[in-house]
Amino acid sequence: MSKKNVAVVGAGLVGSLHAILLAKKGMKVDVFERRPDLRKAEVIGGRSINLALSNRGFKALEMAGIADEIRSISIPMYGRKMHDLEGNLTYQPYGKDDEAIYSVSRGGLNQKLMNLADDYSDVQYRFNHKCLDIVLDKNEIFFEDTSENKEVSYTYDHIFGTDGAFSAVRGRLQKTPMFNYSQEYLSHGYKELVIPPNEDGSHRIDKNCLHIWPRGKFMLIALPNLDGSFTVTLFFPMKGEVSFESIKTKEDVMKFFNETFPDAVPHMPTLETDYFENPTSTLVTVRCEPWNYEDKVLLMGDAAHAIVPFYGQGMNSGFEDTSVFSEMYDDESEDMLKLFEDFSEQRVPDGNAIADLALYNYIEMRDLAGDKDFLLRKKIERKFSDMYPSKWMPLYSQVTFSHIRYSDALKAGEKQRKIMDEIMEMENIHNNWEDDSVMEKIMSKVQ
Ligand SMILES: Cc1cc2nc3c(=O)[nH]c(=O)nc-3n(C[C@H](O)[C@H](O)[C@H](O)COP(=O)(O)OP(=O)(O)OC[C@H]3O[C@@H](n4cnc5c(N)ncnc54)[C@H](O)[C@@H]3O)c2cc1C
């Protein structure tokens, strides 16, 4: 049988990983990317942008055979460290013992995936190719070849759309009957800033946790980089009294940061300049359905489900798309139409669930992470979970450390929330939380 000839449109994180997994299944893969080869770019970004990688992502990387290598260039973060207005710190572990999420460079990870894909003779990258349109009945893709300044087209057995939140591939499917689509911007955007390393290259603050400055309506977070720096992100309203719109001058920046994040300011010597040089970006949730068009086109990653970044699951869920596809392919490769349809049917509810969870987690991170009731709630949950691990896995662990379907985790989390609402209503719970009666009550509710 001749090899399947497939296209992956978009050589971001998900597209590059998917290309490897498809080549491993014996397919011939052309990967199209509108940008130049990022490995040849003279200056890669200038700023370090990082992402939190967790178990779902690692599973797909393991399938590609690159998990250990990526782990070795990432920094484990074992919990959240909350900074209050006075600079007091509260620590909350993410999971048990050595469970961690891993801070990894976005550019570094993308490059490693591309290098690995290049090792497969059946994978060919075509950079500077911007997807313009697809003629679906022929499965012919039209590109603008920006280096040659001409239009080209290619035909494939199957096309995978991994071209991100503003996907051109999805744009084509949006014009087909019965394709549902929604896009919703968060009223908050973000700006990336930096905490540089100490002079000796060490980290200025604890590198093995994710730092959060929760301030109710907004927050600042910091994730460590290997070079001793931290990528700091301000999530902030786009408009309004206290917002990106209202901060206009260097004086405004310093006044706002000194009043709001006083213990971070001494670590951010280039804050004034960075604030105005670095872009303000928006955050969008995209949902659509189905993710396939017959057996011709399949959407994955942000092209299928762009989500806000507050659960650290955007890339992880996209990587999970590739591992789930790979597993399903082993059983259903004889009938690609059924495979594409089954994949869409299974993954759409999971994409919607992680979109909801991510939106909720923004409130948890910015508003509740510094809240006494919230911290106690987490402590009680953890105690019960330690005593009866088979009866209670905290929602964060289900999402981050397990491979339970997101849609099941969402349902289980809802049930847990109701139980914990009742527990928090118990008399004098802040003093009595260690009483046996609390654990007994949870057990009675769980059963
Ligand atoms: C501030 C922020 C923080 C985040 N933090 C995390 C985190 O901690 N953990 C996590 O798991 N996720 C995180 N995410 C989400 C993560 O970045 C995305 O989910 C992930 O990048 C999606 O990968 P992708 O390959 O689907 O899309 P992308 O990374 O967007 O890649 C799409 C690729 O397609 C190319 N392309 C676009 N249009 C075309 C076209 N017409 N033709 C050809 N090529 C095209 C683009 O150039 C790009 O290379 C974060 C996102 C943001 C914004």
For the chain, how many residues are written?
447
Q: Tell which atom from ligand 1 comes closest to the C-alpha of 317.
A: 11
Ligand 1 center–CA 169 separation, angstroms:
15
Candidate of 104, 221, 315 to mutate for ligand 1, largest count of ligand atoms within 8 Å of Cβ: 315
Tell me the C-alpha distance between 427 and 392, whole Å: 23
Q: Tell which atom from ligand 1 comes closest to the C-alpha of 283.
A: 53
As a whole number, mean pLDDT of residues 219-224 equals 97
pLDDT-derived band at 371 (thresholds 50, 70, 90) equals confident
H and E: helices and strands count for the chain:
14, 19
As a whole number, mean pLDDT of residues 328-355 equals 97
The residue nearest atom 21 of ligand 1, judged by CA position, is 315
Which pLDDT score is estimated for 234?
Answer: 97
**Residue 52 in contact with ligand 1 by CB distance below 6 A:** yes
Which pLDDT score is estimated for 367?
Answer: 78
Q: What would the two tokens of residue 411 be?
A: 């349902």
Tell me the C-alpha distance between 139 and 155, whole Å: 6
Which pLDDT score is estimated for 375?
Answer: 87
Q: What would the two tokens of residue 274 be?
A: 């960075």
| Cα-to-chain-centroid distance, residue 68 | 20
Tell me the C-alpha distance between 87 and 68, whole Å: 36
Percent above pLDDT 90 for the chain: 91
**Residue 11 in contact with ligand 1 by CB distance below 6 A:** yes
Ligand 1 center–CA 384 separation, angstroms:
37
Out of 3.50.50.60, 3.40.50.1820, 1.10.3330.10, 3.40.50.300, the CATH code matching 5-76+105-183+284-361 is 3.50.50.60
Ligand 1 center–CA 376 separation, angstroms:
35
Same-fold call for 5-76+105-183+284-361 versus 185-282: no
Q: Note the pTM of the prediction, 2 decimals.
A: 0.96
List the chain domain ranges: 5-76+105-183+284-361, 185-282, 371-446
Higher pLDDT, 2 or 430: 430
- What CATH number does the domain located at 185-282 have? 3.30.9.30
**Residue 162 in contact with ligand 1 by CB distance below 6 A:** yes
Q: What would the two tokens of residue 139 be?
A: 């499965």
Percent above pLDDT 70 for the chain: 98
pLDDT digits (tens, 9 = 90+) for 9-50: 999 999 999 999 999 999 999 999 999 999 997 544 456 799
**Residue 308 in contact with ligand 1 by CB distance below 6 A:** no
| Cβ neighbours around 88 below 10 Å, total | 10
- The mean pLDDT of the chain is 95
What is the β-pairing status of strands 180-195 and 230-237?
Answer: antiparallel
Q: Poorest-confidence range of 12-26, 28-42, 151-165, 295-309?
A: 28-42
pLDDT digits (tens, 9 = 90+) for 72-117: 999 999 999 999 999 999 998 998 888 999 999 999 999 999 999 9
Residue 410, pLDDT above cutoff 90: yes
Ligand 1 center–CA 166 separation, angstroms:
10
Tell me the C-alpha distance between 156 and 4, whole Å: 8
